Structure 1
Amino acid sequence: MRALVISDTHFGAWTGEDLLCEAENLAVIEPQLDVDEVILLGDMLDFLFSPLRRALMAAGGLFDLLRDKLQGKKFVFLAGNHDHHLVAREAEEVIELALGAADSAGGLPDTRRGTEGFRRLLERRLEGVQVEIHYPTYTFADVLCTHGHYLDLHARRVGSFPSQLFGRVIWSVSVGRRHAPTLDDYEATTQLLTGMLFTIAQLPNGTHAQRRVYRTFQSLERAIGAATSPARAVEQLAHRVRQRASGRSEGMAEQDVAAYDDARTQEQERRRRAGAPSGGEAASYALARRVRPSDPVQPAVEAFEQVVTNLGWARDTDKIVFAHTHQPLDGVLGPSGRWRYWNTGSWIYEPDLSSRRAYTAYLRNAWPGTAVLIDSDAPEPRLLRLRGHLNPITRGTFSE
């Protein structure tokens, strides 16, 4: 038995380029769909930065492809934080509206949970495919799969005092004085981090309001950055010292500067067309998650292992596939040495253009277009870098 695990397609999001809307990227993933199951490990639809209808329309090409390739097979959906409301009561009305299920008087059913409405929608779009919805975990061939957004409660942003302060505030509000969060605590944190964004995005002109909020947020980030500039100056000096010690140049190669400038120009143009804020920090991680794709990968692994430990999820396995961070991983050993981790990465191009160094880290840590293959006859899962040949580092247009 074989399963392909993908995640973080973020259909509809104005914060980045949802790659599986494009025929050429669907063609890249199509040969990998000769499997028994496809597991969509969360954030398929971006309800935090897109109206529901637009997200569903953007997913149309993938739905058509899955329907054609999975006849008589299985599609498994798990929610992430960006489509978390599909497993919450609040989603029922918008799902029913999308299905056209309102009665002639405008009333809506109120006796079913949101997952039932979404299941019916999937069964309609994926006719002939067995549909299952699980949350928050699913197991295939002794491999535990989950989106991983609970790690935000423990995530620490390296060198970022504002984010560390924010984390402590979220912890105190959602968990209180407890030191070992329960499943309810993690769910409360998810609601706290995503509830406002979901509500705004589903209002008429809601995403326009979000863009205005982001511009205000950018101004706040710049003000905070100025207030913490001495600390950042020390960090930058330390980085330059490390570069010199390793014999590397302080600056970037001329081709790297050109590649960065070109990427920034293209992304600014995309954001202009989308009406999005144009700064390098204008991305979904600014408010909806605490780990930037350009961050080092180890802190996120440590945070996720804390979740696994607190909830006792992996007593019967040592192999775990998660998502959320957009940082693909291939069998990384966790800090305890008990579990190995794979991460599905993402299918949204959302570069960190806040600096040339951040862009380099994004290319290295979070280039999109990845999946994880689980084969019951293989000793462990395997990371597939399906768009790796397009990475500027791989193509030689950008050096590490």
Structure 2
Amino acid sequence: MTIAQIVLSDLHLGARDSLLTHVLGGGEIAREPSPVLAAFAAGLRATLGDREKPQLVLLGDALDLGLSPFGDVSKAFLQLIDAFYPENGQEIFRRDIVYIAGNHDHHLWRMAQDHRFVTQLQDGEIPGDLEHITPIIGQPTHGCRLMESLIAQRPHLAGASVRIAYPNWGLADADRKRAVVMHHGHYLDGMYRALSNMRGFLEQTPARPATMHQLEAENGPWIDFLWSDLGSAGEVGGQTGSLYQTMLSAGASHDFAESITRRLTGGLNAKLGINPQMQLKYGITLDNLIRAGVDLTAGRAAERQREGYGHVLGEAEIDDIGWYLGQPMAAQLREELGELPREMQFVFGHTHKPFQDELMVDGYATPVGVFNTGGWVLDEPTLMPVQGCAAMLISDELEVASLRLFNDPTDGTMAPVRVEGSGRVSRLVDDASEAVAGAADEWAAFSSEVHGRIVAEADRRVRDMLDQSNHAVREAAE
């Protein structure tokens, strides 16, 4: 058994609060990899040894396009390439990378959609619309032109490719009746299904789409509009970070939603003479519609996946996973494979809270293995015990194991890097655990680097919050 793929998610390259982005003292992005990234590469290299190189799968939000300028993101991506594919050193991965876009980098999928549409026009065709989704199973055919253009700046990597899939990509073994499907995880979060929620509210129909095509067709433009491009929006984009943090706090998000609603309804009345109490349909007033729309996007979003201090999944998130696996994903798998696999493993990120477990999902014969990658950024100034990061290992027999890299050191100590499974018997867990143990020194050095960076970043955030608070107090006093 060999490790065929290694899945990384939520790197947020280019973000100042990503543990992987190397930022110099003056605030500019460095050329060389960060100490954390270099130590991570050393741990992987020592663990894999002379084994066959695995494929690198980037599971969304690898690039922080939603909150960081394209230039910073591009430089940080080259840091990753230099760490994993050094010019004068051992390359860790195969040169055919698979990229599954998420929410902060949805723009990459939009670029691929546009390129395919224009190419078809140049071939004399006029497609009916953009290609909303790609097949789950099979080699992706869309090239990620941004990443491939950056890799081209490294001549020793001639011929390397990055193929993009969206919103899912997976592997299937017909003989073993197994499959592994990967999705960034944003469509498990109601914030990113806002337009479907609005449609369901207006039409009194089920808000959660039944197919992947409907899910992306309804919500893709919304994700692109608010979550994937603002890193290059100048000062307005710079304020998006504050908005994003607000959305992660239930209390602050509720106040924010109420403020938006009052401003919208008051402005319509004062400036346009439109009465917010005017009825639209079925007794629904304009005020009802605006309030519902804002609440479905800004208000309830904070009550979803990342705000929990002590748990990785709540009942609502488990219900959303069941819907996603049991309806739109199941429909596409049946269309592509003819039937659902007997053994199913699902890998996602987005929440920044790594875990592994098994869930019963309607339609599947056995419990589905569910694995979360966590993430490489700090979401809050305070450390959270459930926040952390993992890399997913996929074997050539489609077993999945979690390489647990770290959790926030809330008690001042870092748990050692280790391999964990979802609970079932797994050769991959045993083999990978032995390989990780053989690289104990490299992983201990990695843990030390991560610990130092997390503590430093948390301290910096606390100082920034205190500075902002003191500034606000001084302004109020004046």
Whether TM exceeds 0.5 here: the answer is yes
Quote the residue 1:81 is aligned against.
103
Give, in angstroms, the shift of residue 83 of structure 1.
Answer: 0.1
2:305 maps to 291
The match for 2:399 among 380, 386, 397 is 380
The number of aligned residues is 302
CA distance change for structure 1 residues 167 and 77 in 2, over 3 Å: closer, same or farther? closer
User: Using a 3 Å threshold, how does the CA distance of structure 1 residues 71 and 287 change in structure 2: closer, same or farther?
Assistant: same
Deviation at 1:221, TM superposition (A): 4.7
**Do 2:13 and 2:77's aligned partners in 1 also have CA atoms closer than 8 Å?**
yes
Aligned equivalents of 2:200 and 2:70: distance in 1? 27
Structure 2 residue 68 is the aligned partner of structure 1 residue 50: yes
Amino acid at match of 1:78: I
- Are residues 1:121 and 2:140 paired? no
Moved more, 302-311 or 208-217: 208-217
Deviations 1:91-112 (A, max 9, x none): 979xxxxxxxxxxxxxxxxx99
Q: CA deviation at 1:223?
A: 8.7
Distance 2:381 2:321 in 1: 22
Correspondence for 1:24 among 36, 48, 61: 36
Please name the residue that 1:304 is paired with: 321
The structure-2 alpha-carbon separation of the partners of 1:17 and 1:70, relative to structure 1 and needing over 3 Å to count, comes to: closer
Secondary structure, aligned partner of 1:143: strand
Shift of 1:80: 0.5
Distance 1:117 1:220, change over 3 A: same
Distance in 2, matches of 1:217 and 1:333, equals: 28
Q: Could you say which residue in structure 1 is the equivalent of 2:57?
A: 39
AA aligned to 1:63 is I
2:12 alignment partner, SS class = coil
**1:5 matched residue in structure 2:** 7
- Which residue type is aligned with residue 326 of structure 1? H
- CA displacement, residues 262-296 of structure 1 (integer Å, 9 cap, x when unaligned): xxxxxxxxxxxxxxxxxxxxxx9997994216353
How far the C-alpha of 1:10 sits from its partner, in A, is 0.9
Tell me which amino acid in the other structure corresponds to 1:136.
P
Q: How far did residue 19 of structure 1 move?
A: 3.0
Q: 204, 219, 226: which one pairs with 1:189? A: 219
Q: TM-score, normalised to structure 1's length?
A: 0.62
Query: Which amino acid is the alignment partner of residue 8 of structure 2?
Result: I
| Secondary structure of 1:392's aligned partner | coil
- Distance in 1 separating the partners of 2:58 and 2:85: 14
8 Å contact from structure 1 (residues 9, 43) kept in 2: yes
Q: Which has the higher contact order (CA 8 A, sep 6+)?
A: 1
Structure 2 partner of 1:269: none
Counterpart code for 1:386: L
CA distance in 2, matches of 1:134, 1:125: 23
Distance 1:140 1:73, change over 3 A: farther
- Superposed displacement of residue 50, structure 1: 1.0
Distance in 2 of aligned mates of 1:50 and 1:217: 18
Per mean C-alpha deviation after superposition, the further-off stretch among 121-130 and 334-343 is 121-130
| 1:201 and 2:222 matched | no
CA gap of 1:366–1:119, structure 2 versus 1, over 3 A, is same
Mark the CA change 1:396 to 1:151 in structure 2 (over 3 Å): closer, same or farther. closer
**Alpha-carbon distance change, 172 to 125 in structure 1, aligned in 2, over 3 angstroms:** same
SS in 1 for 2:152: helix
Q: Does 1:171 align with 2:197?
A: yes
Normalised by the size of structure 2, how large is the TM-score?
0.53
% of aligned pairs identical? 23
Q: Which residue of the partner structure matches residue 106 of structure 1?
A: none
Query: How much has 1:64 moved relative to structure 2?
Result: 1.1
User: Shift of the alpha carbon at 1:199?
Assistant: 4.3
Name 1:97's counterpart in structure 2: none
Q: Report the CA distance between 1:323 and its aligned residue.
A: 1.2
CA distance in 2, matches of 1:289, 1:84: 23
Aligned to 1:139: 170
- Gapped runs of 5+ residues in structure 1? 94-110, 156-165, 229-283, 354-358
| Secondary structure, counterpart of 1:385 in structure 2 | strand
Helix, strand or coil: the match of 2:327?
helix
Cα distance change on mapping 1:28 and 1:318 into 2, 3 Å: same
Contact 2:11–2:61 (8 Å) recurs in 1: yes
Tell me the residue number matched to 1:318. 344
Task: Kindly provide the CA deviation profile for residues 6-50 of structure 1, in whole angstroms up to 9, marking residues without a partner as x.
Answer: 100112235x33435422343124432543201111100111111
Q: Kindly report the root-mean-square deviation, in angstroms, between the aligned alpha carbons of the 2 structures.
A: 4.2
Larger gyration radius, structure 1 or structure 2: 2
CA distance in 1 between counterparts of 2:321 and 2:245 reads: 31
Residues 204-215 of structure 1 aligned to structure 2 (within 5 Å): 204-210=234-240
* Structure 1 residues 396 and 72: alpha-carbon distance in aligned structure 2, compared to 1, 3 A threshold: closer
What's the offset of the Cα at 1:144? Answer: 1.4
Instruction: Report the alpha carbon displacement of residue 122 of structure 1 after superposing the two structures with TM.
Output: 5.1
The verdict on how the C-alpha distance between 1:190 and 1:173 changes in structure 2, with shifts beyond 3 A counting, is same
CA contact (8 A) 1:10 1:43 kept: yes
